[in-house]
Chains A and B, each alone.
Chain A
C-alpha cells in the first residue's frame, strides 16, 4: 500500500521539478529579452567611465581575472609560485592607479567610477583597510592594559550593534566633520572608510577567535627561546591564529563583496547602482527579472572565485597538506 503511495508521490514530485526546471530554461532561452544586459555590458563593467579611457578599468578587471587563474591553476612550484603573493600585493595600487589616473594617465574623478570595477575597488579597498585595523582591535581586546582593552571592546560592541546602512550614512555625514576645513573626501573614499570601520569590528572578533585557539604554551615556548614579545606575536602567535581564523575571514570577505551593494543607496553606481539606473531607463522598462538574474550570476561568480581562492590559501597555509 505504502509503496504505491511512495511511488506516485515520487513521480509527482519529479514531474513538478521537471516542469519548473523546463519552464525556467524555456524562459531563459525564449521568453527573456537579454538585450538589456547585452547592450549594457560595458556599463556593467566600468560604469560611466570616459569612453576613451575605458581600457583602464577593463585592464584592471582582466588583471584580477588572470591573477586568479594563475593562482588557482598555475604552476605549483618554482619562481612563479613565489611571485604570486607579490603580484597580489601589487594589484591594489595598480588598480587604484589605473582607475584614478595620475602619473602619466589622465585623472578621472570618482564620480565617473562605476560597475564591476567599482565593486572590486570597494571590496578590496575596505578589506585591506579593515584587516589590519581588525587585527589591532583583536590584540587590543586581549591586552593587559585596561584602557586599551576597554576601548577596543567598546568599539567592537558599538559597531556590531549598529546596522551597516546606518554606519554608511553616518560615514557620509560625520567623516567630513572630523576633517580639517578645506580637505574634501569624496563619496567613494568616505564609503570605503565607513565600510572598513564597520568590517573591522567583525574581523577583530574572527581574529580574536583565532588568537584564543593558540595555547598559551606556544607563547611560553617562544619566550623561553629569548624571542621578544613582538617577535613572539609576529612569528609564532599571529601566523597560527590566521590559519585558524581563515574560514571565518573568508566569510567576512564574501560578506564584504555583497555588502558593497548597499552603497547603491548612497548613490554609488556599482553593480546594483548600475542595475537600478538601467531599470529606470524607459528603453528597458519592466526587465526586472533579466537584470536581477544577471546581477545574481555576477555576484555568484565573484563569490565563487573568492571561495576558491580562500580554499587554495587554506591548503597553502597548512604545511602538512601543502607538502604532499
Chain B
C-alpha cells in the first residue's frame, strides 16, 4: 500500500489569528477514495487546494506523489505535480473561448507535448466515457452545467493523473444534473483512481468513499469508514453536523 499524499501538521492562515488550516495531518493511500466533509469555512477546500500548490502553506510538511510541497516550495516543483494531480472545481472553469475538444487537448498538447491527433483521440475516448462524445465540437456556453462538469473531469483526466481532487463538484449544479456527474465520479472510483473529494453529497460518501474525514474550524475532527461515520460517528461535533444535514 503506497501513500499518495502525506500531510503533517499543515497550517495556513489568510488573516492573522484566523487559521484556515490548524494543524491538519492525514494520509491518502493509492487507490483510496477519501471524502472530506464539514461546514463551510471549515478549511476543506483550502486543504485540497494545498495538494496541488494552489494555496501555499505557512508551515507543515506535505508530500504529494513523492514531491515535497512545504512552505518554501518553488513554482517549478508545483508544476511537476500539477500534471500528475487532476483537479475539478465547483464552477467547472472551462475555457469559454475554446471548443470542448480544445479544452481537453490544450494541456496534453502544450504541457505534455503530445501529438495533436493522439491527444484528440484520447479526448474523444474520455468524452465517450463521460457519455458526451457528441458535444466535442461545441463550446462550453452551449452545454448544461452537468455536461460542463463532465467535460471538466475529462479535461483533468486527459493528463493521465495519478490523483484526482474534487472541490465541491456538484454544488453549482441543478439537482437533476447532480446524478450524471456523481455517476461519472463513481465510475472513476471503481477504476481504482485515487480521489480526494470535498462534497456535501451524503449518498456519494456513503456509497463510494473508503474513508470519510470530517473537518471543522481548520482541524480534523474525525476520520472514519463511512458506515461508522454515518451511523455511529465518534465525535459529538460530527453527529451535530450530520443531524443538520439529514
Contacts and interface: CB of A to CB of B under 8 A. Distances in A.
The yes or no verdict on A and B being binding partners is: yes
Interface of A: 217-218, 220-229, 231, 235-236, 239-240, 243, 317, 319-320, 323
Interface in B94-121: 94-99, 106-107, 110-112
B139 A227 contact: no
Contacts of A231: 110-111
Interface centre among A220, A222, A224, A228 (most CB of B within 10 A): A224
Interface string B135-161: 001110110000000000001100100
B106 A243 contact: no
Contacts of A226: 79, 82-83, 107, 111-112, 159
Interface stretch (B20-28, B31-39, B85-93, B231-239): B85-93
Contact of B54 (A224, A240, A320, A323): A224
Contact of B97 (A217, A227, A239): A239
B77 to A, nearest CB: 12
Contact of A225 (B96, B97, B106, B139): B106
A318 to B, nearest CB: 9
Contacts of A224: 52, 54, 82, 86-87, 156
B108 to A, nearest CB: 9
Given A225-B159, A240-B96, A319 B139 contact: yes
A235 B89 contact: no
A235 B139 contact: no
A240 B89 contact: no
B157 to A, nearest CB: 11
Contacts of A236: 95
Interface size class for chain B? 20 to 34
Contacts of A225: 82-83, 106-107, 111, 155-156, 159
Nearest to B83: A226
B95 A221 contact: yes
Interface centre among B86, B97, B156 (most CB of A within 10 A): B97
Nearest to B110: A231
A235 B159 contact: no
A226 B91 CA distance: 19
A269 B156 CA distance: 59
A320 B155 contact: no
B89 A221 contact: yes
A243 B79 contact: no
A236 B106 CA distance: 10
Interface of B: 52, 54, 75, 79, 82-83, 86-87, 89, 91, 93-99, 106-107, 110-112, 137-139, 141-142, 155-156, 159
B89 to A, nearest CB: 7
Nearest to A236: B95
Given A217-B89, A224-B54, A243 B83 contact: no
Nearest to B53: A223
B99 A319 contact: yes
A319 B97 contact: yes
21 contacts: A220-B93, A221-B89, A221-B93, A224-B82, A225-B83, A225-B106, A226-B82, A226-B107, A227-B106, A227-B111, A229-B75, A231-B110, A239-B97, A240-B95, A240-B96, A319-B96, A319-B97, A319-B139, A320-B141, A320-B142, A323-B138
A218 B95 contact: yes
B110 A227 contact: yes
A218 B103 CA distance: 12
A192 to B, nearest CB: 32
Contacts of A235: 106, 110
Interface centre among B91, B112, B139 (most CB of A within 10 A): B139
A277 B14 CA distance: 67
Contacts of A223: 54, 82
Contacts of A222: 95
A222 B94 CA distance: 9
Contacts of B75: 229
Contacts of B138: 323
Nearest to A242: B97
Contacts of B155: 225
Given A225-B83, A323-B138, 20 more contacts: A217-B89, A217-B93, A218-B95, A220-B89, A220-B93, A221-B89, A221-B94, A223-B82, A224-B54, A225-B82, A225-B111, A225-B155, A225-B156, A226-B82, A226-B112, A240-B95, A319-B96, A319-B141, A320-B141, A320-B142
Interface centre among A229, A243, A323 (most CB of B within 10 A): A323
B100 to A, nearest CB: 11
B97 A228 contact: no
B83 to A, nearest CB: 4
Contact of A220 (B54, B79, B137): B54
Contacts of A320: 139, 141-142
Contacts of B111: 225-227, 231
A229 B159 CA distance: 18
A231 B109 CA distance: 12
A228 B75 CA distance: 9
